[in-house]
Structure 1
């Protein structure tokens, strides 16, 4: 898990336009004031990433302290029974950890800003549903959610809880056979880092016998086009873009920053490290999401 950055040591860069210009280092009080002034009176679309949920106990992919990760690709999942069985064994442990996670101050802050009419909606790259759990209503789950499972053949949907009951019946004692929950490392996509999965048995779709897959966009898989279009519409209908907790390394999130920059919208980036979108930002702040967003709630008045 990435180590929180204290507000008193956070760094910020402020520039006057949608593209980076040489800028002076400012103190945290000045950076918050600059962000509040930039966003005041505006309807703000949000893009959130894994760094948003680290304070809820869910690790990120590319934080400063994150270990190297090698997530399963879509091609591996659909093309190899052993890869698929190994994944489901790990997920059978990991999804319970994600289901137990609770929103942090950053999630609650964005929900509060939505209630005030400031945040128009959230495009999240996370699958943890913590924005929804915090009370945000306009949430686009860009990469899907951990709590649903889809049959790749008949497209039937089921809840992850329902599948868990089937897998428990098929694999009695499996959860007790792996390390205790506190001794298992959990990855950001509800995957548990365990190696002994040879004794795990998978089940197929009850309706057609097809392959079951978490309703999550894997690496190597495309985000559904209607979902992308909905996200673009959210950016287009807003007056500013706020990026929180994302390195924007992959195009999945970066494209919305580019869209906002092309429209000359003000862009604020809050992340614990540099991002691929910093060149487009009006303000970049290397700080934790929870404390910065909580402070922003106090600094921004409701829209009239």
Structure 2
């Protein structure tokens, strides 16, 4: 069923332990593109696949070249009114724990505490060989220094710090490397084709079990790592509400749905419940 703002406020008012699950629609107002249109159809080319990234140098070069160009726009993105309202609702005790499919870190910057990042954080990089960790900004410096010809490139931003760019000279592109062991670097995110780490899954399941309702914000739920929580909630009789522009994979499981953007619906909800 669809809902208006009053119905959503009533939903939040009736439940004291609402688990929030946010997706890419949460950050579009911050200038970070999402993966899908209103019908849940993926835009653009298939994102990099984790198994291919680890196996093929050519895939790693393509990823890092595009990321080198796309990351500055993502790193400059700021939390929007939806992030701020969500943090305010949490601080007021109106919403409970928060899980996100996003990797941009904007929830934390807006003031949300104890954010569980299901898919990791794009601002961190790990070495696949010695497991050292680095800030993404440090790796950006490596990339720019080693690839000055690409440093000034401009391209349309794509989701998660990617860019719509197909470099002509990938053979000459220099990959970043671990300064400790010289090993292979990978952003600390869950690529398509990879699974959510077991420890993160356990914590997410614990949060779902402790909740008395689920609120989905800005996610089509096409990816199973998010949809599974709707299935769990429905199976245990916990109501589900969603704020999303367009279809979701769980539309048939929802108690109510607000067809609105996160940056408009959440501030309005905060005002109603303040």
Q: Is TM (by shorter chain) over 0.5?
A: yes
Structure 2: tracts of 5 or more residues without a match = none
User: What whole-Å deviation, never above 9, does each CA across 1:106-146 have from its counterpart, x for those lacking one?
Assistant: 11111001100122221111111111111101211110111
Residues 38 and 247 in structure 2, CA contact (< 8 A), matched pair in contact too: no
Structure 1: tracts of 5 or more residues without a match = 1-12, 15-25
Q: CA RMSD in A?
A: 1.6
1:151-170 matched pairs, under 5 angstroms? 151-170=127-146
Q: What TM-score do you get using the length of structure 1 for normalisation?
A: 0.84
Equivalent position of 1:21 in the other structure:
none
Pairs aligned (count): 269
> How far has the Cα of 1:63 moved from its partner?
2.1
Which of 40, 58, 72 pairs up with 2:48? 72
User: What whole-Å deviation, never above 9, does each CA across 1:40-73 have from its counterpart, x for those lacking one?
Assistant: 0522111111111111111111123973331010
1:78-227 matched pairs, under 5 angstroms? 78-176=54-152, 178=153, 180=154, 184-196=155-167, 197-198=169-170, 199-227=172-200
The reply on whether 1:51 has 2:22 as its aligned counterpart is no
CA distance in 1, matches of 2:133, 2:188: 8
Residues 145 and 215 in structure 1, CA contact (< 8 A), matched pair in contact too: yes
CA distance in 1, matches of 2:176, 2:261: 41
CA distance in 2, matches of 1:231, 1:63: 27
Residues 95 and 146 in structure 1, CA contact (< 8 A), matched pair in contact too: no
The reply on whether 1:239 has 2:181 as its aligned counterpart is no
Moved more, 73-82 or 61-70: 61-70
CA distance in 1, matches of 2:47, 2:11: 37
- Which of the pair has more CA radius of gyration? 1
Equivalent position of 2:36 in the other structure:
62
Q: What TM-score do you get using the length of structure 2 for normalisation?
A: 0.93
CA distance in 1, matches of 2:176, 2:258: 46
Residues 61 and 69 in structure 1, CA contact (< 8 A), matched pair in contact too: no
Residues 148 and 214 in structure 1, CA contact (< 8 A), matched pair in contact too: yes
CA distance in 2, matches of 1:78, 1:168: 22
Runs of 4+ in 1 over 6 A off after TM superposition: none
CA distance in 2, matches of 1:56, 1:108: 12
Residues 73 and 219 in structure 1, CA contact (< 8 A), matched pair in contact too: yes
State the SS of the aligned residue for 1:189.
Answer: helix
State the SS of the aligned residue for 1:103.
Answer: coil
Equivalent position of 1:266 in the other structure:
239
CA distance in 2, matches of 1:186, 1:137: 28
